[in-house]
Amino acid sequence: MAGVRISAAQRAYRARRIGVTFGRVYLGIRAHRFLARRLRPRDMPERWRRFHRQSARTIYDTAIELQGLILKGCQFLGSRADVLPREYVEVLARLQDRVPPRPFPVVKATVERELGADLAQVFRSFSTTPVASASLAQVHAAELHDGERVAVKVQYPEIETLVRSDLANVRTLFRAVGLLESDFDLMPLVDELAEQMPRELNFVNEGHNAEAIGRRFKDREDVAVPRIHWEFTTRRVLVMEYVDGIKITDLAGLRDAGLDPARVSQLLVEAYCEQVLHHGFFHADPHPGNLLVQRRPSGEPRLVFLDFGLAKELPPRFRQGAVDFAAALLRGEPDAMAEALLELGFETRDGRPEALGEIARFILDIGQRFRHGVRLDSDFGERFGREIPDRIRENPIVRIPTHLVLLGRVIGLLSGVNRSLGARIDLARTIFPYVMGVRRSD
């Protein structure tokens, strides 16, 4: 069934709003470049920082107003520290928590249209207030007629049409900018969004992602994934088991439940090591709203994953590339590390690994501390997350593959969660068994 139509006037307004916003940012960039090259004021770095922060706020306001793809795209850009200055990343990252819900009558109409039945025929009860709202959908608690509690994820009715319209507008705008600025190519970002959005808009795909991750963790008591109710799931409505738990960053809640935040943090990192280095398929959106914690009968924590719209399968040779990179890192060989980065999917203008040498040497510098028990604390995470993207932007890299972009985002999100938990993870000791192909037993 096609999405809800939007009027020509709405499309024109959105196109104009997008064009004006990004046009102002682009002209500001040109003006600041002129100042830097011709007048060379001594406070130019501070001028750039002020401009970037103001521009980011302008884009943020536009995203909040327009929502749809623009909001989702700006959330995505908020994770791209390899492409954008950190001022944009810091401001746009806040968009995760600023999505107003749709009125209940809109939700009710969508569910009834998708399931072909009145709400009361499918559900014994259905909460009118959402438990969560995001850029593409919102989630309501409900109860089936057999008494089972479920979570119902409902896609906004106009979102598919908005995504198509906005994507065309953004593609046209960025293509025009690319013609004027050969070194300012944002088309790869548009291509990534165009590839990613159809999957996120198809809740059947999300259900399959949930089951795929659930199967891979089926033998572990300390990781859980909600069960999907396929009989009530369509492309725009997803019904799954309702799972109670403590939000992973609720430090007081974890302690009140008798759970050790450090153990929760260790479990989270181990679960991602297993997904990335053993399964080759991972949940790519581990922000705190998608991670719950339960107390097991043993008193140990159980990690619950939610929201599987963004999941990624890694290339077949990824693990081998990771092993080669880790081996070169342990040997202290930056040239071999650069070769492994190419194997992992980094692309350079001339196809030679030498262009990745500086990044490899920087990682080696950090890696030297592995032997002294480097830990995933706030200082390490912030330095790694700040300096690696800076060096990538300064080097002649054409493109970082999507799976590595998503992995970088996951590392950033995990670092933030661990910082909230006050944890210090021994990264070398945690990662090494998975790189070597040895799984931890529960």
219 is catalytic: no
Q: From 310, 307, 311, select the one nearest 151 (Cα to Cα).
A: 307
Enclosing H/E stretch for 14: helix 8-34
Say how far apart CA 77 and CA 64 lie, in whole Å. Answer: 14
Residues sharing a CB contact under 8 Å with residue 207, sequence separation 6 or more, in sequence order: 228, 230, 233, 238, 240, 308
67: left (phi over 0), alpha (psi -120 to 50) or beta: left
Residues sharing a CB contact under 8 Å with residue 20, sequence separation 6 or more, in sequence order: none
Say how far apart CA 173 and CA 19 lie, in whole Å. Answer: 7
Q: Which amino acid is at 361?
A: R
Residues sharing a CB contact under 8 Å with residue 403, sequence separation 6 or more, in sequence order: 312, 313, 314, 315, 318, 345
Say how far apart CA 175 and CA 111 lie, in whole Å. Answer: 38
User: Which residue is catalytic, options 82, 250, 285, 324?
Assistant: 285
Residue recorded with tokens 């390899």: 82
Say how far apart CA 88 and CA 345 lie, in whole Å. Answer: 26
Per the structure block, which two tokens stand in for 426?
């021994």
Say how far apart CA 59 and CA 52 lie, in whole Å. Answer: 10
347: left (phi over 0), alpha (psi -120 to 50) or beta: beta
Long-range CB pairs of 416-419 (<8 Å, 24+ gap) are 416/288, 416/381, 417/248, 417/249, 417/265, 417/268, 417/286, 417/288, 417/291, 418/265, 418/268, 418/269, 418/376, 418/377, 418/381, 419/377, 419/378, 419/381
Residues sharing a CB contact under 8 Å with residue 121, sequence separation 6 or more, in sequence order: none
Enclosing H/E stretch for 123: strand 123-126
**Which residues participate in catalysis according to the annotation?**
285
